[in-house]
Structure 1
Amino acid sequence: MSPPPAHPPALPLIEGMLARRTTNGPFRPDPVSREHQHLLMRVAQAAPSHFNSQPWRFVLVENPQTIAEIARISGESMTELIEAGVFFERYRRYFRFSEAEMEERRDGIHIDHLPGPLRPFTRQVFSDAGLKLMRQLGVPKKLGEDNRKLVAGSPLLLAALLDKSEYRPGELSGFYSVFGLGAAMENIWNAVGALGMGIQFVSTPMEIPRQWRAIQTLLNVPGDLELMAVYRLGYLPAGEKRPSIDWSSRHRKRLSQFVARERWGEPEEE
């Protein structure tokens, strides 16, 4: 029997997974077809779960008024987080400011797109002095408005929930449930590209408890379910318009940085 080729041809599924990305820009206004929505739910349904418990629940949101309200909450949350400096304080350690830094670390996000007045101060933008300058230039409100527009212009929102009879934090069932939902969402994330779609996590309301509660109320989340995340989805436009502050994050760690052979301390080489 001949040995397998050194570099076997990549399968379409694997190629799609390696090409996966998050959509930071706007979507086309076209509604997401019901066929595609159900296909995404079926790929989520195919994910593994502990004892086939399938603890995930989803809400598909197309109503323009509901989307507009979630967009308002998201934009207000972004403005509040930036204005108070909370966002940068929490996540500063992930920011990179040059290709060289990204190449060395191979993780985090490269802040490579800033409003004109801030570009000369790229590295200082996320310092205390930089935050003061951003407030003076009205950047928090601009970022909040950009965020609101992105969410408001999304034809479909997807709320991901967990059944509390399975999701019990502090117990193994809590881990199994989060693991299962993560697998379901990863299936969705890997499938959208094949449909000409994109997806992005609507994260800012989660940072502020009262705003997250407002979304739970809006979606009529009952007491036996836990709202875990909200995503925006839509079809990708031909040209991509970048937000006011944007980043790239295509670098990935080398095998030797995250894989060991037999025991930790013996890094796997490429």
Structure 2
Amino acid sequence: MNLLDGMLARRTTNGPFRPDPVSREHQHLLMRVAQAAPSHFNSQPWRFVLVENPQTVAEVARISGESMTELIDAGVFFERYRRYFRFTEAEMNARRDGIHIDHLPGPLRPFTRQVFSDAGLRVMRQLGVPKKLGEDNRRLVAGSPLLLAALLDRAEYRPGELSGFYSAFGLGAAVENIWNAVGELGMGIQFVSTPMEIPRQWQAIRELLRVPDDLELMAVYRLGYLPEDQKRPTIDWSSRHRKRLEQFVSRETCDVPETEARE
């Protein structure tokens, strides 16, 4: 695939992977493209842990599923991120950011917009949706042949100082290189984010991975080869829209929006 086409086609995988192990060759290739990312003074502050052990994957999956259930049941997830939800194609076309909630369990579809309200949350609890979402999340992570933990060297990563920004920026570039490369390998990738929302669960993953004091665990991702037919999760969304140039690019100064030719 052409490099630019591959970057523009980049996607996040919300569905399951094939059970096939990720080849050691492909794992190392992903580490090499991460290593090629820019970093401040070539400090290369990133560290990665490749996890294939089924017991470890299962434990991360359990923690992730429990975290999802807790976040949904308490309403914390929707309260934190409600501003990103879009409920119609027209709204998505106008804003061109956030996520379009376009796939819900049958009982919730008649009141899509209300599903993330307090009243909707009560209905979701009655229908057992938090537990169902947590189990869906657990299965997705448990079925991933490879987990990737991304860490930063605390000698470089010092929050509140410029070194902290430089290190986080460098890790972001390294992970983006991985994200852009997986498609060429017939693979997908997804952020395992829910444990990060609950400090005790994130600490449990730190302990599971035996993260030493001189490293900061920044993120965990699930990776694997993509099946031909992907089944959508119980609650899913579309996020392929991107802002128009004039919505995020200016010319010369911040008060002059860029313009682009329209067909």
Q: Same fold per TM (> 0.5)?
A: yes
Q: How many residues end up aligned between the 2 structures?
A: 260
TM-score, length of structure 2 as denominator length: 0.98
**Which residue in 2 is equivalent to 1:252?**
242
**Which residue in 2 is equivalent to 1:148?**
138
Deviations 1:92-147 (A, max 9, x none): 00000010000000000000000000000100000000000000000000000000
Q: CA deviation at 1:246?
A: 0.1
Residue segments in structure 1 that go unaligned for 5+ positions in a row: 1-10
Please give the alpha-carbon distance, in whole angstroms, between the structure 2 residues aligned to 1:14 and 1:150: 30
Please give the alpha-carbon distance, in whole angstroms, between the structure 2 residues aligned to 1:239 and 1:117: 25
Residue segments in structure 2 that go unaligned for 5+ positions in a row: none
Q: Structure 1: which 4+ aligned runs deviate by more than 4 Å?
A: none
**Which residue in 2 is equivalent to 1:198?**
188
**Which residue in 2 is equivalent to 1:215?**
205
Task: State the AA in 2 paired with 1:266.
Answer: V
Please give the alpha-carbon distance, in whole angstroms, between the structure 2 residues aligned to 1:147 and 1:120: 24
Q: CA deviation at 1:182?
A: 0.1
Please give the alpha-carbon distance, in whole angstroms, between the structure 2 residues aligned to 1:98 and 1:14: 30
RMSD: 0.5
Please give the alpha-carbon distance, in whole angstroms, between the structure 2 residues aligned to 1:157 and 1:249: 23
Task: State the AA in 2 paired with 1:166.
Answer: E
Deviations 1:200-219 (A, max 9, x none): 00000000000000000000
SS at match of 1:59: strand
TM-score, length of structure 1 as denominator length: 0.96
Deviations 1:189-233 (A, max 9, x none): 000000000000000000000000000000000000000000000
Alignment counterpart, residue 119 of structure 1, candidates 93, 109, 128: 109
Aligned pairs for 1:27-176 (under 5 A) are 27-176=17-166
Please give the alpha-carbon distance, in whole angstroms, between the structure 2 residues aligned to 1:140 and 1:37: 34
Please give the alpha-carbon distance, in whole angstroms, between the structure 1 residues aligned to 2:10 and 2:36: 19
